[in-house]
Homo-oligomer: A and B are copies of this chain.
Amino acid sequence: MAGSSFGRHFRITNWGESHGPAIGTVVDGCPPRLELAAADIQRELDRRRPGQSALTTPRAEPDQVQILSGVFRGRTTGTPISLLIPSTNVISQDYAEIAHAYRPGHADFTYQAKYGIRDPFGGGRSSARVTAGIVAAGAIAQKLLREQAGITVTSYVKRLGPILAETDPETVHREMVERSPVRCPDPASAERMMALIRETAARQDSVGGIVECIIRNVPPGLGDPIFDKLDADLAKAMLAINASKGFELGSGFACATMTGSQHNDPFELRDGRVATRTNHAGGILGGISTGMPIVFRVAFKPTASIGRPQHTLTEDGQPTVLQTKGRHDPSVLPRAVPVVDAMAALVILDHFLALTGFAGRPPPPATQA
């Protein structure tokens, strides 16, 4: 329980460092008999991989996933699925140079303080590269949710710096998101965001933003009060993503200036089902899904790696000025979108399996019928 596992029913265990020979994830608890091929996972990995557009780091990692276990003749067997992603483009760096200074906004100092040792290359274990393993596992979760329950997850860039996209949570879907490299479904805002990223990069700086996520077709009843509330688990999942600084559900922080008579969502029948007229709740009440779309937002800080000189300390406590030369994204937002999709799917699937059990439990063998 040292932090590299997530989920209780669909449980993933993530491993690997930025510049190690490979990274990977083991998925335990995947229901049996799901059709699964590497291509199903690769699709999501390609959305996250570096070098996919001019907006991201030029480090060119193909991030080709291998399935080493848990799948037999194209179907899951219910046993652990081991996913391995070899690292191919690992540039050797001068250890002496990078290891000595604590990069501001990075985890160099805290890893050193906790472990007394760290792999400094590319941030080692604290690198966002480890989210590739999350996205791979999340691809399986999304496939399961979609095929077995019709549940879809759609994240997109809602805000980049000062630019706030106009989006309609009712209609937005992934195809609209994928049309722009910045993953904003509002074309006008997307254009301005891309311009902002280019300008920011030119200034050797970086910019933050907000990702919004809509999860549809979640049945009522997911979530375990008091502590494993569906929103509590989503909050944990989102804060576990590199560079995230906040989570809000439905009305979120705006609820602070609302009154109860404004905020309460009246219940009503819609198509014979219990629904609410508004959705300030964001699809969750008392920690349990209502059946309305789940809507939340995650704040991401500006990339900590910037080209500008920065004041900091060496490991020996000497003041120094650091100027990073590495390959980095001027904004993590576009590539954070598939990570939010993945983590959200992992949470929803975990609670889905809590209700349904080890899904796909087969009928007894024919001879027992």
Q: Is the pair A286, B111 in contact by a Cβ cutoff of 8 Å?
A: yes
Task: Write out, one digit per residue, whether chain A residues 288-308 have a CB within 8 A of any chain B CB (1) or not (0).
Answer: 111100000001111111101
Apart from A6-B226, A15-B70, A72-B117, list 16 A-B contacts with CB within 8 A. A1-B228, A5-B28, A13-B26, A23-B69, A113-B364, A114-B361, A116-B362, A205-B259, A205-B260, A206-B260, A208-B255, A248-B299, A258-B301, A273-B364, A317-B367, A357-B357
Query: A186 interface residue, CB < 8 Å from B?
Result: no
- Known contacts A4-B80, A106-B285, A228-B3; A245/B240 CB under 8 A: no
Residues of B within 8 A of A299 (CB): 248, 252-253, 255-256
Nearest-neighbour CB distance to chain B for A245, whole angstroms, equals: 5
Q: How far is the CA of A20 from the CA of B82 in the complex (A)?
A: 11
Complex partner residue of A259 from B26, B285, B286, B302, CB under 8 angstroms: B302
Query: A14 interface residue, CB < 8 Å from B?
Result: yes
**Count of this chain's copies in the oligomeric assembly:** 4
Q: Is the pair B115, A24 in contact by a Cβ cutoff of 8 Å?
A: no
Residues of B within 8 A of A262 (CB): 302
Task: Write out, one digit per residue, whether chain A residues 70-107 have a CB within 8 A of any chain B CB (1) or not (0).
Answer: 10100111111110100000000000000000101111
Q: How far is the CA of A161 from the CA of B9 in the complex (A)?
A: 40
- Known contacts A77-B115, A299-B252, A368-B273; A110/B315 CB under 8 A: no
Q: How far is the CA of A119 from the CA of B266 in the complex (A)?
A: 22
Nearest-neighbour CB distance to chain B for A156, whole angstroms, equals: 14
Q: How far is the CA of A362 from the CA of B225 in the complex (A)?
A: 17
Question: What 8 pairs between A and B have smallest CB-CB spacing?
Answer: A107-B286, A116-B362, A3-B224, A317-B367, A357-B357, A246-B248, A206-B260, A110-B288
Q: Is the pair A267, B355 in contact by a Cβ cutoff of 8 Å?
A: no
Q: How far is the CA of A276 from the CA of B268 in the complex (A)?
A: 52
CB nearest to A271 among chain B residues: B368
Q: Is the pair B226, A14 in contact by a Cβ cutoff of 8 Å?
A: yes
Complex partner residue of A267 from B22, B282, B312, CB under 8 angstroms: B312
Residues of B within 8 A of A188 (CB): none
Query: A274 interface residue, CB < 8 Å from B?
Result: yes
Interface residues of A in 192-234 (CB under 8 A from B): 200, 205-210, 219-229, 231-234
We find that the number of chain A residues with CB closer than 8 angstroms to chain B is 166
Q: Is the pair A105, B226 in contact by a Cβ cutoff of 8 Å?
A: no
Interface residues of A in 20-63 (CB under 8 A from B): 20-24, 26, 28-30, 32-33
Q: Is the pair B248, A240 in contact by a Cβ cutoff of 8 Å?
A: no
Q: Is the pair B311, A265 in contact by a Cβ cutoff of 8 Å?
A: no
Q: Is the pair A113, B288 in contact by a Cβ cutoff of 8 Å?
A: yes
Residues of B within 8 A of A161 (CB): 256-257, 259
Query: A11 interface residue, CB < 8 Å from B?
Result: yes
Residues of B within 8 A of A317 (CB): 269, 274, 365-367
Q: Is the pair A111, B288 in contact by a Cβ cutoff of 8 Å?
A: yes
Q: Is the pair A125, B77 in contact by a Cβ cutoff of 8 Å?
A: yes
Q: How far is the CA of A369 from the CA of B160 in the complex (A)?
A: 41
